Amino acid sequence: MPPRELTQAVDTLAQLDAVTVREDLRQKEDGRKWILKVQLRLTDPPADTQVPRETDWYVLIEDTYPWGSIEIHPSKENSITATFPHQRRNHPGSEEEPWRNGNICVSQYGHILGRSGAITEPRDPDERLRWHLERAVAWLETAANGNLQQPGDPYEVPEFDTRAAPNRTLAFNETYDSFEDWQSVSGSWGTVELRQLAEPTGTLATGEFRDLDDHVIHQPEWGDYIKDNTEDVFHGAWILLDSTPFEPPWEAPETWRELENVLEDAPIELYELLGKVSSTVTEEDIQILLIGFPIPEEIGDPDALIRWQAVKLPSLKQPAEHAGGFRNTERNREILARVDLVNKEIQWLDSENWAHEQLARRGSLSKPLSETKVLLIGTGALGSTLAECLVRGGVQELTLVDGETFEIGNLARHTLTLPDVGEEKATALAERLQSLTPHASVEAITEDFPPTDESRDAVASSEIVIDCTGSNAVLGALRRFPWKQPTLFTSASMGRRGNRLFVYSAYDTAFPHNRFREALEPWLLQERLEWSHGEDAVPERVGCWHPASVIRMDRVTTWAGTISRYLDQTTDLGHGQSKLTVLETQAEGEVPLVSEAEPPFQDSIEWASADSSITVRIPAGRLAAVKDLCAEAKEVETGGILAGTYFSGGEALVVRATDPPSDSTHGPTTFHRGTEQVDEWLQAANERLGIQYLGEWHYHPAAPPEASDDDYDEMVSIATNESYHCPDPILVIIGGSPPDDLSVNVYVFHREGDFEELHRANPEDEPEDSQ
């Protein structure tokens, strides 16, 4: 039996005129999802649309409802068969199931599917399923009218069918700068070097692109990993289009005949391209075709990037191998390529942009740090962990200096692993760091600082130098070393038990060792006093005593992450400036001391119901801002919308109150709140802050803050309009004469048609600045 919450949710679908339940709920065999068949009806679809007036759909609901996913798939019978924007590839899917795979996206793109009021997905069991189906109807109506893509939407590429070539991936490297380079390319096709990587298995990385005259026109810039892990190099073909090769409404071609149709306006005919390129590469080489096209970042924006989509070609016979035999001419190769391919399905390859600016969008460091040549001295516990933070954060050019060997005892507090035992630390760490990104170039210098003459030039040209050795000898050598330019120096070390982090930075022509010691000496004395009676090291081995610090890896990672953030803040130091930062927590072995944050919105003013648990809280600063708007309005009414969030138990918190929209009308005794940019504002507030529409605020100049008949009618209309998704809208009325004689009343209206006037809770607690 379906759970009661789900059956009640299905019952609420009767409220939607455009939705009819066709079959009762049934459970999938694996028990993880419930299946509901529905029919969706459009009011007045265009005559030329691919969307029928009535379509059948299957709703797949996780058994954790009201939590978990809700998917809406077209039925295999009496539904849409095309693929539209904001939809998975709409292919028939499994033979055992009656639905297609074209799940539609209704939980995003609120400014397209939203109506007046909030667009936040509800979590109430009685509302969530109905919300999804209501938006499915809106999605279908928008699809029928061809309006699913709107300016400002993130640009998306249709889903390509890669099932026929599941173990191949193309990694290309296209940036905003390379897009400009491609704009000046006169040719439209040629050959491309493809590097087959040892890992990830089946991955091909693009190398040199050559035109029809065999001139190099584009060379992607890769890091050491691509260069050092290339198993084989062969050639494929490329063609660059002026527009996207998609079939309407929004799907990738699935056969060579379909691809030929969408390439009608291409700079060169498809089979002519294959005939020409096959004369310059061997049959085995021409197994991959790259189809390139320009794309924007957002709908409506100019094109900004080149997107490559790879195709795996079937084996093409040489002309002489065809029945009857043919001369090996370009024209014959073109004709025979058409014969071989025209009725075959395309084997698309997964194709991904591995450009640095695309991969580094998650948690990247600032450009002054990531695009600078960095030297890291010391690859022990702190140094190795910091190096990983830097490379994962986007640092592309890093040199490591360390003359030590990785030992078994280092495993407890290092990023290297068992296979690295006995290897030189710098070399092993460089190899590991190169595997973190296709763009890092990491050089290892396997000697102590300062290096010998052979490596001095590479070190001297560094722009940022980080010391993680904790060695006074190294710091002295930093002062004496002949740097080629002013350099940003940073020395980072932990206290004897890891409870402190010392970070000293200076921008100068040499490391200011004397200033560093003066700044650090009081702290070193404090460290000696604190640990003079305690053990801060343990013997690592039996026999001769080998001291080893007791600092744990969790503390090392905490401080390494802190240093990487700190480095981002020190790149603006002026010449000759220096700074010491000391961060402190509790001693090793104890839970780190974390101060308790003050609960937010403690200055809120609260209104409560005398008959229910409903409360409304408004921060004093927000209420003061609304009163300022009332003062600006002077003798005419004004108002705006309220946004915030509901907590459990009927508590509402208002965190935003808007100015009156620009198309509002104001009068001495009337105000009509406009709608200009309201939906857009609500969408942005929901996506960035997670808040939703809560109600309205009005100002009654020189009058009591009491709801008028017009106010009552407006709020009842909002409460009963389900498109607002706000069954209990709030009305805040400010009345009186600004600035000092203003008072506030708060009302809550209900979908059933009644309302409550709330009263101030603890009025003596109101801050003075809110009066």
Work out whether the CA dihedral 368, 373, 377, 378 comes out positive or negative. Answer: positive
Contact criterion met (CB below 8 Å) for 227 and 262: no
How many CA atoms within 13 Å lie on the side-chain side of 613?
Answer: 6
Helix segments in 195-329, DSSP class H = 224-228, 256-262, 270-277
Cα–Cα dist 82/74, whole Å: 10
Closest CA to 318 of 275, 270, 347: 275
Q: Are 90 and 80 in contact (CB under 8 A)?
A: yes
Structure tokens at 250: 């929004």
Kindly report the backbone phi and psi dihedral angles of residue 746, in degrees, each rounded to the nearest multiple of 5, phi listed first.
Answer: -125, 130
Distance of CA 524 to the CA centre of its chain: 43
Residue 726 sits at the vertex; the CA angle it makes with 721 and 728, to the nearest 5 degrees, is 100
Q: How far apart are CA 570 and CA 274, in angstroms?
A: 55
Going by the DSSP 8-state scheme, the letter that residue 273 receives in this structure is H
**Strand order in 692-701's β-sheet?**
755-757, 741-749, 730-737, 692-701, 638-647, 651-657, 615-619, 604-608, 759-761
d(CA 372, CA 378): 19
Beta strands in 148-199 (DSSP E): 169-172, 189-197
Rounded to whole angstroms, the Cα distance separating 514 from 109 reads: 59
**Of 26, 252, 273, which is closest to residue 159 (Cα–Cα)?**
252
Peptide bond into 3 cis (omega under 30): no
- Could you count the other beta carbons within 10 Å of the beta carbon of residue 329? 12
Distance from the Cα of residue 368 to its chain's centroid: 22
Which residues are catalytic, by number? 637
- Can you tell me whether residue 272 is helix, strand or coil? helix
Report the alpha-carbon distance of residue 180 to residue 580 in Å, rounded. 44
Q: Taking the chain, what is the end-to-end CA distance rounded to the nearest angstrom?
A: 57
Q: Give the residue ranges of DSSP H helices in 304-452.
A: 330-341, 356-359, 367-370, 381-392, 425-434
Q: Are 209 and 238 in contact (CB under 8 A)?
A: yes
Does residue 223 contact residue 438 with C-beta atoms inside 8 Å?
A: yes
Residues 303, 179: contact at Cβ < 8 Å?
A: yes
How far apart, in whole angstroms, are the C-alpha atoms of residue 259 and residue 274?
A: 14
At a CB cut-off of 8 Å and minimum separation 6, what does 346 contact? Answer: 161, 164, 253, 254, 255, 256, 258, 259, 311
Residue 306 · residue 293 · CB < 8 Å: yes
How would DSSP label each residue in 549-582? E---HHHHHHHHHHHHHHHHHHTTPPTT-EEEEE
Total residues found in the chain within this entry: 771
Q: Characterize the bridge pairing of strands 615-619 and 441-445.
A: unpaired
3-state secondary structure of 662: coil
Dihedral angle at the C-alpha atoms of 685, 686, 688, 690, nearest 10 degrees? 120
Q: Where are the beta strands (DSSP E) in 31-144?
A: 33-41, 54-62, 70-74
Burial class (CB within 10 angstroms; exposed 0-12, middle 13-18, buried 19+) of 435: middle
